Structure 1
């Protein structure tokens, strides 16, 4: 194995490690929500610094490979994809931190009826699975699995679309839960963005393996998969 191949391999391993860290952050956030565990939420906020540090290191290593080796073809596409995937993963980390802060700022445990009514727990579980499954697509270099993410994200989109209406209905009977309802809505909005990041990553995997560019904005805009 050449030095170039070694550095490409190490870069992929670094991305996978960051991915696993971000996945762990999301998973802890779900647990913190279900158990109203503010200590766990604070741990997520603290660990976010590691996510940011990992992003900076991966960017630096990617730029060094581009500058030193001038890769071409699939190797070039891989490094370019990693630069974008790295940004998407950092944003997922930010989302996990944002959800953790909402849990910390909430006065008392979320009412189970509110969680059930909005499907936020189901949505959160699906978001965690999306991050896990797109990682497997990256590790195994399977574009078929990456394409499966587009369909899976529709579930998150549907819950997000219904959220305002469902919360209005809920608040008619439970006006005292306004603050909790607003926090749940904020969590739902953030989880929808996790789906968007997963789709962006799927596009980058397809780009690097197949040299095909899929326009995410067009697909979301016309409601059809590319």
Structure 2
């Protein structure tokens, strides 16, 4: 194994570690929501510094590889894709942190009726599936598996697009100011979760780009 291959192997290892870390951040933020565990939410906020630190390390390694080794073909595509992927991974971490900030603003657990009406549990299940697919497809360079996130992201978009109507209906049937505030928080959390789906989709596109040399960004039909 030459020096370039070693550097690329370490780059991928660092990216895999970061992918698992942001997956864990999202899992903890979701668990904190359902258990109303403020300590767990605070742990997510604290770990955000680790996510940021890994991002800077990966950025530096990519710059080092480009400057010293002048990679070509799939090696170049992987480095270019890595620069984009690490940015999206960091944003997933940011949104996990954002979810926990809204949870910490709430003094009581969210109304189960509200959570069901806004389909937040369904949304979280989809996100966790997408993160599992992302980890496996990236570790194995499985582009067929990576493509499966696109239909899941469409399901997230559908829940997000209907959230305003669900929010309005819930507010109309409630005079409790705290519940109304929770509904507003939850709408913001839905928006953040939908953005996580977008970032996972972006990363999956980059996996397909560096493995298959196919650019899917901005294409309506990704199948």
Q: TM-score range by the shorter chain?
A: over 0.9
Match of 1:194? 196
Q: CA deviation at 1:155?
A: 1.1
CA–CA distance in 1 between the matches of 2:166 and 2:222? Answer: 27
Query: What number of residue pairs does the alignment pair up?
Result: 221
Q: CA deviation at 1:210?
A: 1.0
CA–CA distance in 2 between the matches of 1:208 and 1:75? Answer: 8
Match of 1:94? 94
CA–CA distance in 1 between the matches of 2:155 and 2:37? Answer: 27
CA–CA distance in 2 between the matches of 1:225 and 1:158? Answer: 18
Q: CA deviation at 1:225?
A: 3.5
Match of 2:126? 126
Match of 1:136? 136
Match of 2:22? 22
Within 5 A, what are the aligned runs for 1:66-215? Answer: 66-176=66-176, 177-215=179-217
Long gaps (5+) in structure 2: none
**RMSD between superposed Cα atoms in Å:** 1.0
CA–CA distance in 1 between the matches of 2:204 and 2:23? Answer: 16
Long gaps (5+) in structure 1: none
CA–CA distance in 2 between the matches of 1:175 and 1:120? Answer: 22
TM-score, length of structure 1 as denominator length:
0.95
User: Does the CA contact (< 8 Å) of 2:216 and 2:222 recur in 1?
Assistant: no
Match of 2:38? 38
TM-score, length of structure 2 as denominator length:
0.96
Q: CA deviation at 1:159?
A: 0.5
Report the 3-state secondary structure (helix = DSSP H, G, I; strand = E; otherwise coil) of the residue aligned with 2:147.
helix
Give every structure 1 segment of 4 or more consecutive aligned residues whose post-TM-superposition deviation is greater than 6 Å.
none
Report the 3-state secondary structure (helix = DSSP H, G, I; strand = E; otherwise coil) of the residue aligned with 1:175.
coil
Report the 3-state secondary structure (helix = DSSP H, G, I; strand = E; otherwise coil) of the residue aligned with 1:174.
coil
Q: CA deviation at 1:117?
A: 1.1
